[in-house]
Amino acid sequence: MDKIARIDMGAAGGPKVTVGDLGEYAGLGGRAMTSLVVAAEVHPLAHPLGAENKLVISPGMLSGTTGSMTGRLSVGCKSPLTGTIKESNAGGQAAQVLARLGYAAVILEGKPVGDDLYKIIINKDGIQVIVDNSLKLMDNYPLVEKLRGEYGDKVAYMTIGSAGERKLLAASIACTDPELRPTRHCGRGGVGAVMGAKRVKAIIIDDAGMKMRPPKDPEKYRDANRKFVEGLRKHPVTGEGLPAYGTNVLTNVLNEAGGYPTYNFKDGQFPGSAKLSGEAQAQLEIDRGGTATHGCHRGCVIQCSGIYNDKDGHYLTKQPEYETVWSHGGHCGIDDLDTVAMLDFLDDNIGVDTIEMGVTIGVAMDAGVIEFGDKAGAIRLVEEVQQGTPLGRILGSGAAITGKVFGVERVPVVKDQALPAYDPRAVQGIGVTYATTTQGADHTAGYAIATNILKVGGDVDPLKTEGQIELSRNLQIATAAIDSTGMCLFIAFAIMDQPETFQALLDMLGSFHGITMTGDDVVALGKKVLSAERDFNTRAGFTKHHDRLPRFFYNEPVAPHNQTFMMKDEELDEVFNW
Amino acid sequence: MKHTIPEQSAVVPELETRGMHLATGQLKTFFPILQKGVMVPATVGCTLKSLLCDQLAIPTDYVTDRITTIFVNNRPVDDLEGTIIQDGSRVTLSAAMPGLVGATMRRGGYYAALRQGISHIVERGAATSQRGTIRLKLFNLLLAEIGPLILAHGLILEQDELIELLELSPVRAARPAAGSGRVLLTVICNE
């Protein structure tokens, strides 16, 4: 990965491609690349849908290699949903293929005049930008099917559905999985709307004729990868729990803990949770001839996904994730997996973030647009988004906008981004991350549970109150670093518990790039990324007063623990003091 | 056959007992009710560790290494020896969970601070041992692994629950007549 492609979509005479060396961005990948480019090159007060914004697409530092779990792709920009800097990442094949073509980043700049829609073809011969108005308002599944007819099955596709083209704030960018289904989404923050604003409908990435990226020390890299895979396979979470049940295994546990937000955050437990559980979902998938164990990209050994078939045994969607099952399930008072799966398919097809869409429907239910538990009504609302009706455009713009339009007081957002599936009144520590992350409410912003072994911030006493602030800070640093490697965040479980697996990861990074890496280097990278993101947000007008949860979390106790969010503002303000 | 749960029981009345044999492959019939929670007879007033190891016959190293997430009355537990089981306690057992919150719920885990406020608080003091019942739930990997131990220990079911269960299952047992009242169901899993 020794080059960056810049595509000026607004250039006089039509889009112009410039390929250059890495310059000051040498050695970066993933979130480090996207955030440092956006922080340095995008005016913080730019309109997110305007020509001044940039959409930065970057594979991770180890993507395109023979290394396992290296297939995450980062997309960054100024978010139209939050107004902050944004990094959103996904699995699928795109990162591996783009990296093998040698691109550390592809940056979409400017904005075309006129109504033409473009597709971008990236292959070993270079980059072409072609007008293709036949793709207008196509949704992701039929869109990819049409493109496959032209470009075949040995490529990766990144696409936006009708939501992205309409520049809806919940719009995502889909990346195809190994079966070329558009199921892996850079979902959060409206990155699909930015791609839509650039009038780019599809990016076709073809690595024919290219080889795996070669490590500097092949033998050491191969050995480190072998140990890394062994570590993942022997750990009970990455080797057993996730492959058997996927992330939805969390439904039962969160419900039991009273941290499962239900009926738009009015309750912490859902009576129908057992019907939505990962255990029930996996059994249903197997009974219907699907599978509960499936990888989202080649080279994945965890295989936390699956295939969800309908009652007749036909493919409906990929295995819905925990957050999706929650947002469309318990949050909306819906206890039916088939309804959730249909909503997951619609979200992927239209191209919207499943968390934002599900939370928005729950807010609309709270407003009385439909009743909680109305399965057909929930599907109808997402179809409104697909059709681009006035109501659909409101809903597709997310929970904050929908709450304002319908006068709802209980709107679970931070920096206008919907909260994920963990109630911060029950799990106070995750509320610290929701409130303070640079990204708007995001559970994955502080997800890399490897801070103990990284020794980020030194040892923390988990029994002290201030531990929550320190832990959130350390988690956010570690996550920013892992998001830059292109590794799936789920590797963190094995890293946390098995020092030899963490060492294997360091050895993979080191032997690939011909350097010696330590935990301190990883921490330094994480801090560098977060500092750049915080600085951008400050220049964009964000202050400590935006690092807060909505007031209802402080005022409304939630059952069964009858707790409110109790972290003090002054404590939240300490998160980024390092 | 009638089975009486020991004399000092003020909580569990005399119950009709039913036995059942199950092939291991049929075990999943019971997963939904084990996941939702079943009433189990127990000597309460004991520690959580004693309940799991001594009464339910779960090997100690399995409890220590495999059952990494435990809730009592919806509160995550850190201390097996300091948690006292009372009559009517709701006990939930899970293997290691993914995600930050999964790690947060882990027993004695590094991230336990993140759930301050809902953690189970150890109460010191003498507990009185007596017969009673608990509500037990099993999640995820534990369903197949220790489900047979729980079934062998016995479940207390409403007659209607038992009938519903038997109608869904291929197990060898006579269907009881519909009626009210509870039964103690003991299930032996055969290889």
Chain B positions touching A446 (Cβ under 8 A) are 100
Rounded to an integer, what distance in angstroms lies between the CA atom of residue A532 and that of residue A34? 11
Q: Which of A383, A341, A378, A339 is nearest to A359 (CA)?
A: A378
Chain A positions touching B105 (Cβ under 8 A) are 253, 257
Average pLDDT over residues A167-190: 98
For residue A464, name the pLDDT band (cuts at 50, 70, 90).
low
Cα distance from N-terminal residue to C-terminal residue, chain A = 32
- Flag whether pLDDT at A40 surpasses 80: yes
Interface-testing mutation among B118, B138, B143, B168, with chain A (most A C-beta atoms within 10 A)? B118
Structural domains of chain B, count: 1
ipTM of the complex as predicted: 0.90
- Flag whether pLDDT at B4 surpasses 50: no
- Confidence at residue A458, expressed as pLDDT on a 0 to 100 scale: 52
* Helix orientation angle between A140-151 and A337-350, rounded to the nearest 10 degrees: 50
Task: Check if A68 contacts B (Cβ < 8 Å).
Answer: no
- Confidence at residue A70, expressed as pLDDT on a 0 to 100 scale: 93
Average pLDDT over residues A318-344: 98
Helix or strand (DSSP H, E) at A85: strand A85-90
* Smallest CA–CA distance from B37 into chain A, residue: A274
Identify which of B98, B99, B118 has the shortest CB distance to residue A561.
B118
Chain B positions touching A447 (Cβ under 8 A) are 99-100
State whether residue A305 is helix, strand or coil: strand
User: Across the interface, do A237 and B28 touch by the CB < 8 Å criterion?
Assistant: no
- Flag whether pLDDT at A440 surpasses 70: yes
Chain B positions touching A279 (Cβ under 8 A) are 31, 35, 139-140, 143
Mean pLDDT taken over chain A: 94
- Confidence at residue A570, expressed as pLDDT on a 0 to 100 scale: 95
- Confidence at residue A279, expressed as pLDDT on a 0 to 100 scale: 96
Identify which of B101, B112, B118 has the shortest CB distance to residue A430.
B101
- Confidence at residue B13, expressed as pLDDT on a 0 to 100 scale: 60
Average pLDDT over residues A6-10: 98
Kindly report the nearest CA distance between residue A275 and chain B, in angstroms. 9
- Flag whether pLDDT at B173 surpasses 60: no
Identify which of B111, B139, B141 has the shortest CB distance to residue A253.
B139
> Which of A315-319, A478-482, B11-15 shows the lowest mean pLDDT across its residues?
B11-15
Burial-class residue A503 by CB neighbours within 10 Å (0-12, 13-18, 19+): middle
Average pLDDT over residues A265-275: 97
Average pLDDT over residues B85-96: 96
Chain B positions touching A278 (Cβ under 8 A) are 140
Structure tokens, B12: 């569990």
> Which of A144-148, A368-372, B127-131 shows the lowest mean pLDDT across its residues?
B127-131
User: Across the interface, do B104 and A490 touch by the CB < 8 Å criterion?
Assistant: no
Q: How far is CA B67 from CA B96, B104, B113, in A?
A: 7, 14, 20
Strand A173-175 to strand A184-186: parallel, antiparallel, or no bridges (unpaired)?
A: antiparallel
Q: How many C-beta neighbours within 10 Å does residue A349 have?
A: 23
Identify which of B28, B99, B115 has the shortest CB distance to residue A247.
B99
- Where do the CATH 3.60.9.10 domains begin and end in chain A? 3-205
Average pLDDT over residues A143-155: 97
- Where do the CATH 1.10.569.10 domains begin and end in chain A? 254-412
Average pLDDT over residues B132-147: 96
Task: Write the CB contacts of A520 (distance below 8 Å, at least 6 apart in sequence).
Answer: none
A to B CB pairs, distance under 8 Å: 151
Identify which of B32, B116, B140 has the shortest CB distance to residue A249.
B140
Kindly report the nearest CA distance between residue B35 and chain A, in angstroms. 7
Report which residue type is found at A41: E
CATH class of A254-412: mainly alpha
Average pLDDT over residues A470-481: 88
Rounded to an integer, what distance in angstroms lies between the CA atom of residue A349 and that of residue A52? 29
Q: What is A497-553 written as a DSSP string? A: H-HHHHHHHHHHHHHHHTS---HHHHHHHHHHHHHHHHHHHHHTT--GGGSS--THH
> pLDDT (tens digit, 9 = 90+) per residue, B15-43?
888 888 888 788 888 999 999 999 999 99
Q: HEC states along chain B?
A: CEECCCCCCCCCCCEEEEEEEEEHHHHHHHHHHHHHCEEEEEEECEEHHHHHHHHCCCCHHHHHHCCCEEEECCEECCCCCCCEECCCCEEEEECCCCHHHHHHHCCCCCCHHHHCCCCCCCCCCCCCCEEEEEEEEECCHHHHHHHHHHHHHCEEEEHHHHHHHHHHCCCECCCCCCCCCEEEEEEEEEC
Task: Check if A426 contacts B (Cβ < 8 Å).
Answer: yes
User: Across the interface, do B101 and A259 touch by the CB < 8 Å criterion?
Assistant: yes
pLDDT > 90 in chain A, percent: 86
Strand arrangement of the beta sheet that strand A156-159 belongs to: A126-131, A118-123, A200-205, A156-159, A173-175, A184-186
Chain A positions touching B117 (Cβ under 8 A) are 426, 428, 561, 563, 566
For residue B1, name the pLDDT band (cuts at 50, 70, 90).
very low
Q: Domain of B117? A: 2-190
- Confidence at residue A544, expressed as pLDDT on a 0 to 100 scale: 97
Rounded to an integer, what distance in angstroms lies between the CA atom of residue B69 and that of residue B137? 12
Average pLDDT over residues A291-302: 92
Q: Which range in A45-49, A451-455, B11-15 is most confidently predicted, on average pLDDT?
A: A45-49
Mean pLDDT taken over chain B: 86
Chain B positions touching A258 (Cβ under 8 A) are 74, 118
CB A346 within 8 A of CB A384: no
* Smallest CA–CA distance from A467 into chain B, residue: B113
Chain B: which residues have CB within 8 Å of chain A? 28, 31-32, 35-36, 66, 68-69, 71, 74-76, 92, 94-105, 109-118, 137, 139-141, 143
- Confidence at residue A577, expressed as pLDDT on a 0 to 100 scale: 87
> pLDDT (tens digit, 9 = 90+) per residue, A371-403?
999 999 999 999 999 999 999 999 999 999 999
Task: Check if A428 contacts B (Cβ < 8 Å).
Answer: yes
- Confidence at residue A462, expressed as pLDDT on a 0 to 100 scale: 45
pLDDT > 90 in chain B, percent: 54
Rounded to an integer, what distance in angstroms lies between the CA atom of residue A224 and that of residue A504? 5
Average pLDDT over residues A254-260: 96
CATH number, span A428-572: 1.10.599.10
> pLDDT (tens digit, 9 = 90+) per residue, A504-562?
999 999 999 998 878 788 889 999 999 999 999 999 999 999 999 999 999 999 999 99
pLDDT > 70 in chain A, percent: 97
Kindly report the nearest CA distance between residue B171 and chain A, in angstroms. 19
Per this entry, what is the length of chain A? Answer: 578
> pLDDT (tens digit, 9 = 90+) per residue, B154-170?
999 988 888 888 777 66
CATH class of A3-205: alpha beta
For residue A159, name the pLDDT band (cuts at 50, 70, 90).
very high
For residue A139, name the pLDDT band (cuts at 50, 70, 90).
very high
- Flag whether pLDDT at A348 surpasses 90: yes
Average pLDDT over residues B139-152: 96
